[in-house]
Structure 1
Amino acid sequence: MFAAFDPIVLARIQFAFTVSFHFFFPAFSIGLASYLFVLEALWLRTGRQEFLDLFRFWVKIFAVVFAMGVVSGIVLSYQFGTNWSVFSDRTGPVLGPLMAYEVLTAFFLEAGFLGVMLFGTEKVGRGLHFAATGMVALGTFISAFWILAANSWMHTPVGYVINAQGQFVPAGDWLAIIFNPSFPYRLVHTVIAAYLTTAFAVGGAAAWHLLRDRDNARARIMFSMAMWMAALITPVQILAGDAHGINTLAHQPQKVMAMEGHFESHPHGAPLILFGIPNQAEKRVDYAVSIPKASSLILKHDSNAPLAGLDTIPDDQEPPVAIVFWSFRIMVGIGMLMLALGLWSLVARWRGKLYEWRLLHRFALLMGPAGFVAVLAGWVTTESGRQPYTVYGLLRTTDSASPLAAPAVGTSLVAFVIVYFFVFGFGTWYILRLIAKGVQVGESDPPQGEPVRTAGVVPGPAQPQRKDPA
């Protein structure tokens, strides 16, 4: 059935499908682990039952998300050996140790303390349990650190030599490999994206319950915290994205050309094309709606600065412009909607209507999955913009694949689609069911043992609550 297909195209589709599923779960778990850490800190600091109830609610969701992330991540490692064995052989001396560091540091740290965080609330003291939650949150960040270091090296490879077997071998300076030119920008942009993904998911869940009961105290806390993140962190993410874009222009100009839709060079200031239909065959953007010289202003901070176009790049080195062009606009568009929601929430908070404006709650509910869409669009922009290379400028995708027949790759692709939609579809349904059920008031007893003796910590039973907990 698949004999007429290109096996490399099938292998790319398979990897894109599986990694897209996987990317959702780390993006959620990184932010959710930190959110759990904050909730437990607030409970220890104030002694309020609401924070403990929220912790208990979200820790169940975190356990499911973490499990699905681990399972989907294992599949990727197998694909490196089956569909992309040439890539694994040639980059293994560089990328192999980076992946191993992720397992030895982050995964072991998460696995070691996850059990304490999930099941040790009635078996260890509050201080130890809080430390375990912190270690899990730290582990998710360290995991992102190593994975993004490896991915960034593929975009901006440095610190290597190529041996007689054609392998990329470290030249001796591992710090140069780890902190390659694009890594700091990609790390900041991706981690902030994970925090915003969680914030909007929490805000959407809170909005759902506020629409049903605006006096729901725990939903009010969730909504208030999520909207603070939307209002304060979204502008930071926009600035981080701008810095990342400027770095990409310096090291991967083809990607930025595709993002901007610049088929032609502009020696006296490039326009910002808002919308249009990229026509790669004719080397133009049809029906373009643009702002004169705005692209030069954004990328060079000078409206008259020249910008090169894809006419300076050989055709066989161009990325797929339409995919990169539109995925970038989806990411930026969602970012603008996030900023709009954050600013709206500030107005509502200033007017004392944060829990009263139902239109705001409906908007927040619609924006609940926005972070997931944005991180996926950002990933598509980054990885498609690197094409036609796996290691930018050095190793082509067509030279990275295993010598497999199309029927073998196609059959495994169909199997992945069926299994993934069944397994992860059920997991997603279960998470949505938990969110719809909502936080159960006083659903568990506080952790036992000796409480942490820090300023403001209230041991024992929770104190009487205010009417408005937010």
Structure 2
Amino acid sequence: MFDSFDALILARFQFAFTVSFHFIFPALTIGLASYLAVLEGLWLWTGRSVYLDLFHYWVKIFAINFAMGVVSGIVLSYQFGTNWSVFSDLAGPVVGPLMAYEVLTAFFLEAGFLGIMLFGLTRVGKGLHFTATLAVALGTLLSSFWILAANSWMQTPAGHVMNEVGQFVPQDWWQIIFTASFPYRLVHTVLGSYLTTALVVGAVGAWHLLRNRNNEGSRVMFAMAMGMLIVTAPIQIFVGDQHGLNTLEHQPVKIMAMEGHFESHPDGAPLYLFGLPDQEAGTMRYALAIPNLGSLILKHSLTAPMDGLDTVSREDWPPVAIVFWSFRIMVGLGMLMLTLGAVALLARMRGKLYDWPLLHRFAIVMGPAGFVAVIAGWVTTEVGRQPYTIYGLLRTADSVSPLDAPAVAASLIAFIVVYFAVFSVGVWYILRLMAHAPAPHESGLENDTTPIRTAGTTPVAAIAPDRTLGAEHRGE
């Protein structure tokens, strides 16, 4: 049945599916961990119980999301050994230690303090508990550091030599870790996680403000989310521009695909807003373009020459249509995030931040936008690197395991079925937790034994308000 499929295509699709599924959870975990640290810090500083209520509200969601991220991430290591064994063999001396450092530093830090953060407030005291929360937040950032170090080395490899059997062997670990693209990709990814979290928190706050604009927890979370958005979105746009300039220097073919430049432009390249890339014909059909703006953005000159894919061998072209459109989805959503932040700032200046239903509906619609944007950015980065797994050095076609298509297809189907069955339940449960508004004396996880009610539903077996936490722990 699957003999007509190519094992390489199936292996690539399987990895794309599992990584995309996995990427959703760390994008929220990184941002929520920092948000929880901010909430607890504000509670300790100001003594306002609303911050602790919001901490307890979001820590439940964080715990479930963290667990799903860990489980979905384990599968990726499995695939390195089964579907990409040649890559694992050749790149293992470099990539293996980087992944091990992630476990030894980030994961151990998260795992070591996660239990204290989730269950320890009434047991260890404020100071140690806040330290644990900061440690978990730091662990998520360290995890990003090592994962992106490994991936950035694959994008812009440096600091290695080839041994006699063709393996990539470390020569300079500083060059391997801090490659040319790493700083840009790290900042861009972490900011993307913060934006994703701000949009989720803002959407939840807006949802409850539409039902009760006087709920203090909803007001605080919405204000904090919109504040984060208006600060972070412009910074992200600037960082993205710098990342693009770095990519132009080190991976020019990826930029050609992102911009849809099949042809070279000696007197200034246009900016294609939309169009239909025709890879076979090597042209952009039905293009809507602004003349010379592409050169202005990428080389800061209207007349700067820009090479196109016609200067590159066709066998080295990435799938242009995928890269072209995924990049525009990411940029378009980024512009909408900036717009939402600007409208929220205007509403705040006019004293209508909590009384503008149109703004709240806009925030709700934008709730999932961060997830879509980070996936689109990942697709742009990884598909734009093709046909290489290690850019310019190891082709994807030469990295795959010697497997038959039916074997890869069978595991792919199993992943799809299991992922949608298991993770759909987890996402559904998170949405149920979000469906109830934050309440005064919101529970932590220390003594959760009673059910909560969500608006318009019967009681569900969920994490419930804990009435045992004394006023001395709330700053009251």
User: In the alignment, is residue 193 of structure 1 matched against residue 192 of structure 2?
Assistant: yes
Q: What amino acid sits opposite 1:438 in the alignment?
A: A
Deviation at 1:268, TM superposition (A): 1.0
Over residues 426-470 of structure 1, what are the superposed CA-to-partner deviations in whole Å (9 max), with x where a residue is unaligned? Answer: 1110111100123232033899xxxxxxxxxxx826567xxxxxx
Alignment length (residue pairs)? 454
Q: Aligned ranges for residues 140-159 of structure 1 at < 5 Å?
A: 140-159=140-159
Q: What amino acid sits opposite 2:292 in the alignment?
A: K
Aligned residue number for residue 93 of structure 1 = 93
User: In the alignment, is residue 106 of structure 1 matched against residue 106 of structure 2?
Assistant: yes
Distance 2:475 2:388 in 1: 59
Indicate if the aligned counterparts of 1:258 and 1:319 stay in contact, CA closer than 8 A: yes
Q: What amino acid sits opposite 2:344 in the alignment?
A: S
Q: Structure 1 residue runs of 4+, over 2 Å off?
A: 443-447, 459-464
SS of residue paired to 2:443: coil
Indicate if the aligned counterparts of 1:110 and 1:135 stay in contact, CA closer than 8 A: yes
Aligned residue number for residue 51 of structure 1 = 51
TM-score (norm 1): 0.95
Rate the CA distance shift 1:126–1:387 in 2: closer, same or farther, 3 A: same
Over residues 115-156 of structure 1, what are the superposed CA-to-partner deviations in whole Å (9 max), with x where a residue is unaligned? Answer: 100111111010000000000000000000000000000000
Q: Aligned ranges for residues 115-154 of structure 1 at < 5 Å?
A: 115-154=115-154
Aligned residue number for residue 257 of structure 1 = 256
Bigger mean CA offset, 276-285 vs 321-330: 276-285
Backbone CA RMSD of aligned residues: 1.5
Deviation at 1:362, TM superposition (A): 0.2
Indicate if the aligned counterparts of 2:44 and 2:475 stay in contact, CA closer than 8 A: no
Indicate if the aligned counterparts of 1:52 and 1:446 stay in contact, CA closer than 8 A: no
Distance 1:100 1:125 in 2: 33
Indicate if the aligned counterparts of 1:122 and 1:446 stay in contact, CA closer than 8 A: no
Indicate if the aligned counterparts of 1:267 and 1:307 stay in contact, CA closer than 8 A: yes
SS of residue paired to 1:276: strand
Indicate if the aligned counterparts of 2:316 and 2:387 stay in contact, CA closer than 8 A: yes
SS of residue paired to 1:212: coil
Aligned residue number for residue 65 of structure 1 = 65
Q: What amino acid sits opposite 2:407 in the alignment?
A: A
Aligned residue number for residue 170 of structure 1 = 170
Distance 2:202 2:76 in 1: 31
Distance 2:339 2:473 in 1: 40
Indicate if the aligned counterparts of 1:121 and 1:446 stay in contact, CA closer than 8 A: no
Q: Aligned ranges for residues 392-431 of structure 1 at < 5 Å?
A: 392-431=391-430
Indicate if the aligned counterparts of 2:244 and 2:255 stay in contact, CA closer than 8 A: yes
Gaps of 5+ in 1: 448-458, 465-470
Indicate if the aligned counterparts of 2:156 and 2:391 stay in contact, CA closer than 8 A: yes
Distance 1:404 1:315 in 2: 27
Distance 1:255 1:438 in 2: 45
Indicate if the aligned counterparts of 2:114 and 2:132 stay in contact, CA closer than 8 A: yes
TM-score (norm 2): 0.94
User: In the alignment, is residue 436 of structure 1 matched against residue 435 of structure 2?
Assistant: yes
Distance 1:137 1:438 in 2: 25
- Identical pairs, percent: 69
SS of residue paired to 2:161: strand
> Bigger relative contact order, structure 1 or 2, given CA contacts below 8 A and separation 6+?
1
Indicate if the aligned counterparts of 2:93 and 2:169 stay in contact, CA closer than 8 A: yes
